Amino acid sequence: MRVETAELADVLVFVPSPFHDERGFFTRTFDVDIFEDAIGRKGSAASFLQDSQSRSARGVVRGMHGRSGRGEAKLVRCPNGAVFDVLVDIRRQSPTFGQKQAFRLDDKEFRHLYVPPGFLHGFQALTDTADVCYRIDRPHDPSEDIGVAFDDADLAIAWPEPVTAVSARDAAAASWKHLLESL
């Protein structure tokens, strides 16, 4: 497994090396030593407290979500299908504050994103079915949920597929300008 840096400060991409043969494939989805060396903090893997999974149909957008307070770190992967995954840096002191970056996560390359605290995150399913797995370092506290509308004009995220569905919460999310005022 190799580790790549992203354009956004502190975001890492973990790229496994799947083994393919006539039976199918085998890939390592997590390696504590590689993860902790990349993050630079021994014992940091033990801070992941929750694993979650979502399943979405083609065109579904989930996001853009974040956490207030201490935020949350997460490791994100797509073990089935493919997604267009988007991060927006909302850390005021970051050199990449306000910038966004998109990644393709899929069940071919098995890339994982390490998303440190202080980012908005969202994705769109690019295949008929797409599963996304999240390993998160804090229990969910709904009172800390923050979000920006997936179609906010100031974020101008170019979703690659027509949007087929969003949750009521995502449809009613605040604007980028509103979030900036509250940070």
Q: Count of domains in the chain?
A: 1
Query: Which residue, 36, 149, 27, 8, is CA-closest to 78?
Result: 27
Q: Is the pTM of this model over 0.85?
A: yes
Domain at 27, CATH number = 2.60.120.10
Asked if residue 45 has pLDDT above 80, the reply is: no
Residue 40 — pLDDT band, cuts 50, 70, 90? confident
Which structural domain, as residue segments, surrounds residue 28? Answer: 2-182
Active site residues: 65, 134
Question: What local confidence, expressed as pLDDT, does residue 12 receive?
Answer: 95
